[in-house]
Amino acid sequence: MIHTRRFILASALIGAVAASFPALAAKPMVMGFSQVGAESEWRTANTTSIKEAAKKDGVVLKFADAQQRQENQVKAIRSFIAQHVDVIAFSPVVESGWETVLREAKNAKIPVILTDRAVNVSDPSLYATFIGSDFVEEGRRAGRWLVERAAKMPNKVINIVELQGTVGSAPALDRKKGFAEAIAGNPKLKVIRSQTGDFTRAKGKEVMEAFLKAEGKNINVLYAHNDDMAIGAIQAIEEAGLKPGKDILVISIDGVKGAFQAMMAGKLNVTVECSPLLGPQLMQVARDVVAGKAVPKRITTVESVFPAEVAAKEFPSRKY
């Protein structure tokens, strides 16, 4: 009994001392974060979410923008290791080529959290968890919307052109796979051209110009792996004298404000949501990982589909 009383007294004393000397309080968690780049509205919103969540949570964030280059991400991760950060998080620009640097982090006993995009590694212990969307399902949702729409179209054949995301990235590979899966059973639906627009508006416009030059009025549908490429392509469609959303149906993914504005203008038909607002969840799971708590290996974000009919109603509540 006496021991318990002494223990409680000692704990209270330590607590009081720590509170009066902030330096003795728990030191803030230090996170090294390597971001893909600033290639799209989605990415900008993702960066804002992470920085705001770190600030709100009292996390010291060391943030590095890789400008969509894997070598810059590898360099940043090595720098975080050298700085002995508590935890490393990153959105891998492409799926492969991470084994070596992730093993270096593991050997340094620094946990790694994947956000947004997955990696292809033989040893899943190289990362603690992956927080992000199910890109295959996003592709399926885009395909399902088109299958339903095609049922009401008189066309015997519906020709689709596809703007793919960054070559080798998880969202590009998986959105292509999911869309193809969803339309496979419909003989009317044919992908006649498919090429990367690297997730940017500029490249999306450039590739759509080439599609239009080659195929012209033969194109009935554009499927873009993100809204930025779709918005760039919409400009190319208009410059070719055609009506986006009418002459060519436009389907895209992300759900950024620019897509809602295009839908309200009648130029985009549907956007499949892919939420970039991963910051709060990342900070919470990072604390759990650093504290040695068990966390799920895969944390999937919950998302919706927004057809043009609901754009005006939903737009005021959109956060990105």
The 10 Å Cβ neighbour count of residue 57 is: 18
Q: Which of 155, 119, 127, 114 is nearest to 249 (CA)?
A: 155
With contacts defined by CB under 6 A, name the span among 5-13, 40-48, 73-81, 303-311 that binds ligand GZL: 40-48
176 in contact with ligand GZL (CB under 6 A): no
Which sign does the torsion angle of CA 177, 182, 188, 189 carry? negative
Instruction: Out of 110, 117, 127, 268, name the contact with ligand GZL by CB under 6 A.
Output: 117
226 counts as binding ligand GZL under rule CB under 6 A? yes
When the beta carbons of 40 and 129 are compared against ligand GZL, the nearer one is: 40
Query: Does residue 141 touch ligand GZL according to CB under 6 A?
Result: no
If the CB atoms of residues 36 and 77 are measured against ligand GZL, the closer one turns out to be 36
Minimum gap (Å) between residue 20 Cβ and ligand GZL: 45
- By the rule CB under 6 A, 254 interacts with ligand GZL: yes
Q: State the residue for tokens 């080529």.
A: 97
CA dihedral 161, 158, 251, 186 (to 10 degrees): -110
Which of 29, 32, 35, 42 lies at the binding interface for ligand GZL (CB under 6 A)? Answer: 42
Rounded to an integer, what distance in angstroms lies between the CA atom of residue 318 and that of residue 64? 27
Place of tokens 């001392």: 17
Residue 40 as a binder of ligand GZL (CB under 6 A): the answer is yes
Distances (CA, A) of 184 to 70, 181, 194: 33, 5, 16
Contacts with ligand GZL, residue ranges (CB under 6 A):
39-40, 42-43, 116-117, 133, 171, 199, 226, 228, 253-254, 274
